[in-house]
Structure 1
Amino acid sequence: MIKYTRFFITLLFAVIAFAAHSQSTATSSSPYSRYGIGDIDPQLMPQNAGMGGIGVATNRMSFFNNINVINPASYGAINLTTIDIGLYGSFLNLSQTGAASQRNNNFRLSHVAFAIPVSKRSALSFGLLPYSERGYNYTKSVKGTGTIPADTNITNYSYSGDGSLSKAYLGYGFGLGKHLLLGGNVSYIFGTLKDIGTTEIPNLIGTINSRIEQSNAISGLNYDYGIQYSVDFSENKHLTFGYSGSVGSKLNSQSSFIVSQYFTDASGNQDVPADSVINRQSAKTKIKLPQTNRFGISFQNEGKFLVGADYTMSNWSDFSIGGESQGLQNSRTFNIGGQYTPNLQTLRNYLASVDYRLGAIYDETYMVVNNTRIKRYAVTAGLGLPLRPNNGSFYKINISAEVGKRGSLVNGLVKENYINIHLGFTLNDRWFQKYKFD
């Protein structure tokens, strides 16, 4: 057990160091990430992501402890020290009518989370997760200025953005009686989002080009809460109802605004800005997050199968920056999925002890672009690969894939076809407990 524990602790600190170093690095490559505060991360572990993203009404699965951040009530079912460390990869293909398709690949460390039992029916959890990501880059070319008919030069208007927000959380879940679990998270959301716009006339050497850069440093507290209630049909068969919510709290935002001028050489490379026409830092403002409500139901025959469904709605129409509405729409998401384990107790057939997961997602996002609602459709699949236990320690590798599309080709929109890969390493062990014999 010692060698496994040392491996996970070493890997854990490496993840924390890397995550702390790379918080401002964008891992999204979607033009839709320019809206709101970027692409919102579902904050799911790979084991839940493989089941279509269900999690509101799940806790332990096949007797294995899992950290389920989207419903902190689930912490009350954790009876072993649990560590979950994850990696994430995205493969994205962008297409638009009349334009060449574009491919983007991104990889990052995704999460690190702990859960420690406090009593027989309660546990503490804490960790670091991604909250949102911004990453886009596109150019619009216009012939002439529109004021001088003889002007046939091409003007390029380029728009780009990057950055991310992270979520450091501390949560506690506990049981009341045999069937009821309650819990809550307090989270600190922090990071920087940046948007840049440039205007260039590439065919006129010596022309002064302009660049507008707006950067927002964001930080503040957010609160989540949840409840789960189970109905037992037998010792291993349970029907669970779940609810969790996120408070529409307000974050602090400090923005800076820089307008600069620069030249480009014959190869199109930018020189050092000649000067800054405007360079100011705005007063702190507030970003109001939406109230989010999640509802879920699941049925589990422990050690054999689990099926469930979730429904999530978020009031993004209330989202505002500095008191000004950003014109977003309320979103809603439907998730359905489950897992099947052929024979958890087998010693000779490894494939029979593997968790097999499937699911589907339908998402009406908060974006309406060119009078068209942006929707997302996806199917998911995953595996839970158990490793040989060692002195009361249990290990599992969780792999999931999400294959989907977002947007469409109508009304000049961009269609995204993507594959998201999640890889997680989960440890269950008895820590912080006194033993009579060693």
Structure 2
Amino acid sequence: MLRIYTRLRRTLTYSLLAVAATSPMVLAQGLGNSPYSALGIGELYSPGNVTNMGMGGLGISNANPFYLNMQNPALLAQRTRFTIFEVGLLGQTKSLSQNLNGGLQSQRDFGGNLGYLALAVPANSRWNMSLSLRPYTYVDYNTRQYRTVPGTIYEAEYNYTGRGGLNKATFAHGVRITKNIYLGVEAAFVFGNITNTSDSRVLINDSDLGIQDTRVSRLNRVNYSDIVWKLGAAWRPKLSENWNLNLGATYDPQTRINGRESDIYQQTNLTGTAISATDTLRTEENGRATLPQQMHFGISLEKKNTFLVGVDVGIQQWAKYRTVTNQPGNLSDGITVATGLEYTPKPNSTRYRDLITYRAGFQYNRLPYTVEGKQINDVNGSLGISLPVGAYFVNHVTLSVVGGQRGVLTGTQIREQYVRIGLGFSLNDLWFRKQVVD
């Protein structure tokens, strides 16, 4: 018991130091500038951990006794009597490009964040529980546009900025019903705030009127807090002595979450000094945003602790998303298809190189964002590796790299080419191990 607390303390210390070292970047950017995060509740983080990240996000039907499955709560019960603590760190570099004003405009960006903190403990031989804290979405964008004011010779400048995001604190349970059937449920408290600001001014500078420095600004801020649910199920029949077929499914029901919105207009000069009284449209008014239902299905073929290959499919009904004022979010339904594999040469060997785990994966996403009538696609490939560390090699350090692209240089679409890196730590130990004295 003392050993796991010592390891937890060390890992927390190292993780907090890493987060502190990058805190300005984390607070400022999340995972970097993303114009598409202006829509809905922002960009969604992947629900899997760094281990799943290395094999295309695969995790609905597959579980490993050395790692925590955070995608399907039912598979918590597949774990052994080990307690596990996990930490994940994420970083991303990307290049954004767009055809604008007859030329190609480009920008490079970088961001990083704490991916998750998670702890799972066995309640008994059939029942496991987990606690986790992780970011759910992030909003980070800053764009500027120039357009001619209709009916005049003047041009107007428009600025749009967004910051914030939502977090999830989850409490999940997984129970083994029969030898091969598992059921699970996850309750998550979603909380956070999103701030969107916009301003505009007419660009006038002539001898008669002088320089016009009046800026009209709008600030919209929504604070969210509520509970959402996820249900999970899995069936893992044996095909032979060493091979298993794994089937899994999860269901996130459509949920309305509480929000408090403030919406303010004001006139300022270019230095930000107010030149008119604030026009408050809404002040801390209560509303409920609608999060759509999501369904995910997975199938995988597994050779015990050695080889696994599988496919996951997900459907997200984002067209049914509604804001806290019950307005459509201009989103479309999304689809996710992921395939991946995992390989450990000889899990029972005493040679270190035989215990290293390798992963590879591919993912296709039809995102909920639509530009000029065309839905944005995201295609990426991934590689991962887990290195065993510590006594008995039951702990692991995992590195995963994802490279991909979303959007294309057609019309006004924004193309994002990105490389995402994840670093994860998985610590295992026995819970309430009875000491033996000779």
By the TM > 0.5 criterion, same fold? yes
What is the CA–CA distance in structure 2 between the aligned matches of 1:273 and 1:381, rounded to whole Å? 52
Whether the 8 Å CA contact 2:29–2:111 is kept in 1: the answer is no
1:185 corresponds in structure 2 to: 186
Structure 1 residue 246 displacement after superposition: 0.7
Task: Spell out, residue by residue over 1:173-192, the C-alpha distance to the aligned partner (whole angstroms, 9 max, x if none).
Answer: 01012101111100000100
What is the CA–CA distance in structure 2 between the aligned matches of 1:272 and 1:420, rounded to whole Å? 40
1:89 corresponds in structure 2 to: 91
Task: Spell out, residue by residue over 1:395-419, the C-alpha distance to the aligned partner (whole angstroms, 9 max, x if none).
Answer: 1011111111111111211000011
When residues 65 and 92 of structure 1 are mapped into structure 2, their CA distance, relative to the original with a 3 A threshold, is: same
User: Counterpart amino acid of 1:312?
Assistant: G
1:31 corresponds in structure 2 to: 35
1:320 counterpart SS class:
coil
Structure 2 alignment gaps of length 5 or more: 206-210
1:337 to 340, 343, 352: 340
When residues 24 and 219 of structure 1 are mapped into structure 2, their CA distance, relative to the original with a 3 A threshold, is: farther
1:347 aligns with 2:380: no
Whether the 8 Å CA contact 2:332–2:369 is kept in 1: the answer is yes
Aligned residues: 422
Whether the 8 Å CA contact 1:26–1:163 is kept in 2: the answer is no
- For normalisation by structure 1, the TM-score amounts to 0.90
2:402 counterpart SS class:
strand
1:267 corresponds in structure 2 to: none
User: What does 1:403-414 correspond to in 2, within 5 Å?
Assistant: 403-414=403-414
2:174 corresponds in structure 1 to: 173
Whether the 8 Å CA contact 1:78–1:122 is kept in 2: the answer is no
What is the CA–CA distance in structure 2 between the aligned matches of 1:355 and 1:137, rounded to whole Å? 40
1:162 corresponds in structure 2 to: 163
2:152 counterpart SS class:
coil
1:320 to 322, 326, 330: 322
User: What does 1:107-146 correspond to in 2, within 5 Å?
Assistant: 107-143=112-148, 145-146=149-150
What is the CA–CA distance in structure 2 between the aligned matches of 1:261 and 1:174, rounded to whole Å? 58
User: Counterpart amino acid of 1:89?
Assistant: G
1:284 counterpart SS class:
strand
State which drifts further: 364-373 or 49-58: 364-373
User: Counterpart amino acid of 1:363?
Assistant: N
Structure 1 residue 11 displacement after superposition: 3.7
When residues 103 and 234 of structure 1 are mapped into structure 2, their CA distance, relative to the original with a 3 A threshold, is: same
Structure 1 residue 424 displacement after superposition: 0.5
Whether the 8 Å CA contact 2:371–2:412 is kept in 1: the answer is no
Deviation beyond 6 Å, 4+ runs, structure 1? 16-19, 21-24
- For normalisation by structure 2, the TM-score amounts to 0.90
1:12 counterpart SS class:
helix
What is the CA–CA distance in structure 2 between the aligned matches of 1:271 and 1:95, rounded to whole Å? 31
User: Counterpart amino acid of 1:174?
Assistant: V
Structure 1 residue 211 displacement after superposition: 1.3
User: What does 1:352-367 correspond to in 2, within 5 Å?
Assistant: 352-367=354-369
Structure 1 residue 132 displacement after superposition: 0.8
Structure 1 residue 14 displacement after superposition: 7.6
What is the CA–CA distance in structure 2 between the aligned matches of 1:249 and 1:16, rounded to whole Å? 33
What is the CA–CA distance in structure 1 between the aligned matches of 2:105 and 2:333, rounded to whole Å? 32
1:226 aligns with 2:218: no
1:258 corresponds in structure 2 to: 264
Task: Spell out, residue by residue over 1:102-151, the C-alpha distance to the aligned partner (whole angstroms, 9 max, x if none).
Answer: 011001111000100011121010110111111111111134x33334x4
2:299 corresponds in structure 1 to: 297
2:285 counterpart SS class:
coil
What is the CA–CA distance in structure 2 between the aligned matches of 1:96 and 1:26, rounded to whole Å? 21
Whether the 8 Å CA contact 1:353–1:386 is kept in 2: the answer is yes
2:388 corresponds in structure 1 to: 386
Aligned-pair Cα RMSD in Å: 2.3
Percent identical among aligned pairs is 27
2:429 corresponds in structure 1 to: 429
Structure 1 residue 10 displacement after superposition: 4.4
When residues 182 and 260 of structure 1 are mapped into structure 2, their CA distance, relative to the original with a 3 A threshold, is: same
Whether the 8 Å CA contact 2:163–2:195 is kept in 1: the answer is yes
When residues 141 and 253 of structure 1 are mapped into structure 2, their CA distance, relative to the original with a 3 A threshold, is: same
2:131 counterpart SS class:
strand
2:208 corresponds in structure 1 to: none
